[in-house]
Amino acid sequence: MNLPNSLTLLRIFLVPLIVVVLLTNIASDWIGVSQVALGLMLFIGASVTDWLDGYLARKQGQITTLGTLLDPIADKLLISAALVSLVENHLAPAWAIVIIIGREFAVSGLRSIAASEGLAIAASKKGKFKMLLQVVAITLLILGSRPGGAYGLQPPNNVNPEVAFSSFVESGNTIATIFRERAIGLDDVRVLCFGAGRAMLWIVVVFALWSMYDYFVKFYGKIRDRIQVRERRKLRLLHRRQRRLNAAAWRLRLRNRIQTRLKMKDEKGSMKAES
């Protein structure tokens, strides 16, 4: 156990706390802190540990098998828990979250299959950039929420979260109002953050599909090469076995012919002796 692995475990332990804060009123009722502020502090702090543990592990030469195993699991737990909480608060569309989380399961499955074949698929730059976009999107959506919902957080006023792209229209109207009145209020900031978060979420969906395709291409290329090598090895073994079988059959036929001829010769010799 070293410092990078401790940070990774800390990120895992923060996941249920983030869910509790985002889905209940404990922050405001028990602690007296804004639910948005505490949720953002916990989520951003956990996201920073994702970068910090990798940086420290590389700098101090403390890359371990445990850290390599736990780091992607901690990332997926953190992002999935935050996104599902946003869906429960009607801040994010469920279909987009299904695509994002489904991509994580698909990539994990491909990596597991590759690992069983003795191969390793490294994280692509698209996947790392997608992780950054997810953190930004979740942060903006939390900033764009307001208290008072069934689970504490809810979409800002004058926003219909059930209609796709509606937040873009509302954000445009808000920007026009700000320029016209030359004043900006808290509700205006919430609408703008919510619209920016929804736009970022669309970008995350595109990058999720794109990076999944990239992982699939890497997986298919490596597995195809491994399967081709294995098939060629099997064919060589089959050819060798067939040659051995053919040689054994040829020796058996030759021995049978020799024995038959010797037997015929012995019978002719015995017939001559009798005559």
Arithmetic mean of pLDDT over the chain:
81
CB-based contacts of 271, cutoff 8 Å, min separation 6: none
CA distance 236 to 241: 9
Average pLDDT over residues 13-38: 84
Q: How far is CA 105 from CA 72, 76, 100, 237, in A?
A: 11, 9, 9, 37
CA distance 41 to 22: 11
CA distance 267 to 272: 9
Instruction: Please tell me the pTM assigned to this model.
Output: 0.76
CB-based contacts of 82, cutoff 8 Å, min separation 6: 18, 22, 43, 138
| Predicted pLDDT at 103 | 86
Average pLDDT over residues 126-142: 86
pLDDT in tens, 219-256: 777 777 777 766 777 878 888 888 888 888 888 888 88
Beta bridge partners of 153: 147, 151
End-to-end CA distance of the chain: 99
pLDDT in tens, 181-190: 887 888 888 8
pLDDT at 267 over 80: no
165 confidence band (pLDDT: 50, 70, 90): low
All structural domains of the chain, each given as residue ranges with its CATH number in brackets, are 3-226 (1.20.120.1760)
> Which two tokens mark 44?
């951003």
Helix ranges restricted to H, 118-185: 125-143, 166-181
The number of residues in the chain equals: 275
pLDDT at 100 over 80: yes
Residue type, 172: G
pLDDT at 61 over 70: yes
271 confidence band (pLDDT: 50, 70, 90): low
Are 147 and 36 in contact by the 8 Å Cβ rule? The answer is yes
